[in-house]
Structure 1
Amino acid sequence: MLPSDLLFSHKRGAQIYPRFLRREQQVWAEQVLTLICEHQHRTRGELQAALRALEGDSPDYRIVRGFAHLALNAAEFTLATGELEPETLRREVFTLAAERGGYGETQAREVLEAVAPRYQLEVETLREALYADLPEHHLLTVLPDFTPEALVNRYNLAQAQGLLYSALCLRLIAHRNVPGEYRRLFRHLKFHGLMYAVEGHLDDGYQIYVDGPASLFKQTRKYGLQMAVFLPALLRVSRWEMVAVLQRDGQELSYQIDSQSPLKPLGAAPPAYDSLLEENFVRRWEKLNTPWVLEREVEIVDLKGTVFVPDFALRHPDGRIAHIEIMGFWHPDYLRRKLDKLRRAAMPDLIVAVSERLNVGAEDFQDVPGPVLFFKGKLEPRAVLEVLERLTLPTG
């Protein structure tokens, strides 16, 4: 993300908007990356001087700095001294200088000449090594691994994130359109420590209210930063909207943005399935001659403090709907949390498919209202279909 002095926004009444790059400003991305590449194996100080020269007297100087900030966050710098430790060298040189006494360039050179042979260094090389641990003397060794277009995307995203630094709360709307992404969205909310509540339904979309200390007690920049870090996860949903309430200069402002913005996800899309077991089940289901249509992670059950998202939904043309949850991964905490969610969700239309490798039995699912199907190795679609046809489900 970007520091506050490199962020741009504009207000219209009580509305505030991030200021994204204009097409003619995007050329700076390529120039910054080219300059960084030209300074590989040179010092940070030399690179910073070249970047200042690139800024010149251009009115876009803060954009250049923003590009450089994001690009250098993905670069790596190392000490130029190898195994030599500048702090150790300084201690030895300064101790010898204090013992000999005197000041000036002549005395300094005599001390360096006395120490240099011990490290098999030239005097001037030793002089440079004394302060090689200062940031401006670090060498650029690993270049940022992205294109100018990717850097532009990172910059625009950073502008959108920057407004969330002062966010009090968020309202997110995630429409039903991207199989498999709901669960990841809630994982990111939990990972970033954000408190939320969910309402809505499959057809009109789900509204997620993200709240917390920033609005309940007082504004905390740390919580706003967590909201900002979460934003890239929202970009994985094809149709989304976000409305944030910000506190800036004693005024509450509304910040709205949606999937029509120029924001784009960073990096490659995550795998469509959480496991090979799920992926193989989908492929075998597609070969069945059945009117039941298998859909990936489209239903959200609000459990007040967390959510439950079944792995699959099954839809029949007559309006019947059922769900499947596959339990094929073993871990004590996973098993405990999963059983707790199944009980709290209380879904009689949920088929729970359980691998026998989990070392659980029917007694563990006594409080789960839906049918439980145990399987060995592969989950056979026909076995699921048999259970499905025995379920009493309302029709449309």
Structure 2
Amino acid sequence: MLTRDLLRFQLRDGEVVPKLLRATPANVDLAERLIAFWAAGVGQRRGELEDAVMPVMHQSRALVVARGFNKLILDGCTFAEAASAAELRTRAFAASALLLSAPAITSDDHAGAVAAAVGLAAMDLRTQLYGDLPDFEVLEQAPQLSAARLIERYNLALCQGLLLTAKSLRVSISDADVGVRRRLLKALRFRRLLAEVLVDAEGILRLDISGPGSVLDQASRYGLQLAQFLPALACAGGWRAEAQVTVSSRITPRATGTLRLSHELGLVGDSAFLGFVPPELRDLERTLVARFPDWTFREPTLMTIRGGDRGGELVVPDLEITTGGRTISVELFHRWHGASLVKRIGQLERGEIPHLAIGVERALARSPAIAPLIASAGFVRHGFQFNDIPSPRALAETVERLAKT
């Protein structure tokens, strides 16, 4: 996605309007030249390429667009990681310190003596001494892109960059495809974005994704997760999203406005984001499969809590486990999910979701608003605590307890 210094937008009557690119001849030409530059740079060092690309970018009348294109291409490049030069530096510095007891006449003489002491030619020592820095990485592969695809990625990355300061997001999905909806909710869950999920009387799926609101570190991380959800959301046939974001520019140092996005903008999603599964969740499931061979795991089923005239609220579990003839769903709550957790414990207390187990990150469980609820009957029966990743033992105790009822 684009960083703050690359964002292009307008402030218009309290709205933040992204300046999306069209495939004009000038934009297509610029995209093609930058794509070709990096494709031709395979085998060269990163630092040299980053210096050489500057004149190409400065040929554009819109330098900020060129820099945005260049960043997206660079993000897709693969560089060979250089071998560590730490040992060579240690040996060279030790040799240099020893030789300073009898200083050479010139710095070149001293450099030559140090190189000889470590068994290298002076020129080779200069090249290898800091050869593990990013500038010395060698380009192995450049992304295979068309100009049109780069422009599509730019527009999506621009909107993602604007979303980074959002603390909440309201989404409506009119696409009736059940498979698309299920994959979107799965992507939502795997981004650790808990939301109030409703299907209204007209069949529109509505997501109210709320963030942590106060702690800056958590809010920043949550904004990143919201931004990373956008490529999945844009895969839907019909959707709208709205968020309050904070932006700054040379004209307006800092301002808050409403960002409204929808399928009507022509944003092109990335289906790869629909299949994203956090590595820690994959590792947890593999551990559980090995530890509990009698358990059966399957794709979590959406759980509906009826809400009268408002339609039904959907619960999106992280895991679904069948044991002893009972199916138990597991939902995990992280440190920024306090508001959702309060609501969920209330639903468990009222017996609305009898076969749901919930895991709560300890950092959240210790917070003043949540700590009293951890002692409630609903949590004692349905819940367990974890640090970064749920422990198999704590999860298993809760699952087995619920499966026996």
TM-score when scaled to structure 1?
0.65
Q: Deviations over 1:252-290 (max 9, x none)?
A: 41111111112112256969xxxxxxxxxxxxxxxxxxx
Q: Deviations over 1:20-79 (max 9, x none)?
A: 113232332221121111111111111101111112253322222212212222222224
The correspondence for 2:115, drawn from 84, 104, 112, is 112
Q: Deviations over 1:211-264 (max 9, x none)?
A: 121279999322222211111111121111111122446654111111111211
Q: Residue 383 of structure 1 aligns with which residue? A: none
Q: SS in structure 2 opposite 1:41?
A: coil
Q: Residue 125 of structure 1 aligns with which residue? A: 124
Counterparts of 2:215 and 2:134 in 1: how far apart (Å)? 41
Unmatched 5+ residue regions in structure 2?
A: 248-252, 276-299, 332-346, 355-401
Q: Residue 141 of structure 2 aligns with which residue? A: 142
The correspondence for 1:70, drawn from 69, 72, 82, is 72
The correspondence for 2:314, drawn from 307, 312, 316, is 307
Counterparts of 1:245 and 1:219 in 2: how far apart (Å)? 17
Query: Cα distance, 1:345 vs. partner?
Result: 6.7
Is this contact kept in 2: 1:164–1:228, CA < 8 A?
A: yes
CA separation of 1:126 and 1:15: change in aligned 2, threshold 3 A: same
Counterparts of 1:15 and 1:57 in 2: how far apart (Å)? 32
Query: Cα distance, 1:168 vs. partner?
Result: 3.2
Q: Match of 1:232, as an amino acid?
A: P
- In the alignment of these two chains, the number of paired residues is 299
Q: Deviations over 1:114-168 (max 9, x none)?
A: 433xxxx554223211111121121111322443333222211111111111223
Unmatched 5+ residue regions in structure 1?
A: 272-296, 311-326, 347-363, 368-396
Counterparts of 2:130 and 2:30 in 1: how far apart (Å)? 33
Query: Cα distance, 1:100 vs. partner?
Result: 1.8
Where in structure 2 are the equivalents of 1:77-96 lying within 5 Å?
77-79=79-81, 85-96=84-95
Q: Residue 219 of structure 2 aligns with which residue? A: 220
Q: SS in structure 2 opposite 1:92?
A: helix
CA separation of 1:92 and 1:269: change in aligned 2, threshold 3 A: closer
Q: Match of 2:268, as an amino acid?
A: K
Asked if 1:253 corresponds to 2:251, the answer is no
Where in structure 2 are the equivalents of 1:1-396 lying within 5 Å?
1-24=1-24, 25-56=27-58, 58-79=60-81, 85-101=84-100, 102=103, 104-116=107-119, 122-201=121-200, 203-214=202-213, 220-248=219-247, 251-267=255-271, 301-302=304-305, 307-308=314-315, 335-337=327-329, 344=352
Is this contact kept in 1: 2:23–2:148, CA < 8 A?
A: no
Query: Cα distance, 1:108 vs. partner?
Result: 1.1
Counterparts of 1:211 and 1:270 in 2: how far apart (Å)? 20
Is this contact kept in 2: 1:308–1:345, CA < 8 A?
A: no
Counterparts of 1:173 and 1:151 in 2: how far apart (Å)? 27
Counterparts of 1:199 and 1:307 in 2: how far apart (Å)? 6
Counterparts of 1:189 and 1:152 in 2: how far apart (Å)? 26
Query: Cα distance, 1:199 vs. partner?
Result: 3.0
Counterparts of 2:92 and 2:50 in 1: how far apart (Å)? 29
Counterparts of 1:150 and 1:52 in 2: how far apart (Å)? 22
Counterparts of 1:230 and 1:151 in 2: how far apart (Å)? 19
Q: SS in structure 1 opposite 2:208?
A: strand
Is this contact kept in 1: 2:195–2:208, CA < 8 A?
A: yes
Q: Match of 2:39, as an amino acid?
A: C
CA separation of 1:115 and 1:303: change in aligned 2, threshold 3 A: farther
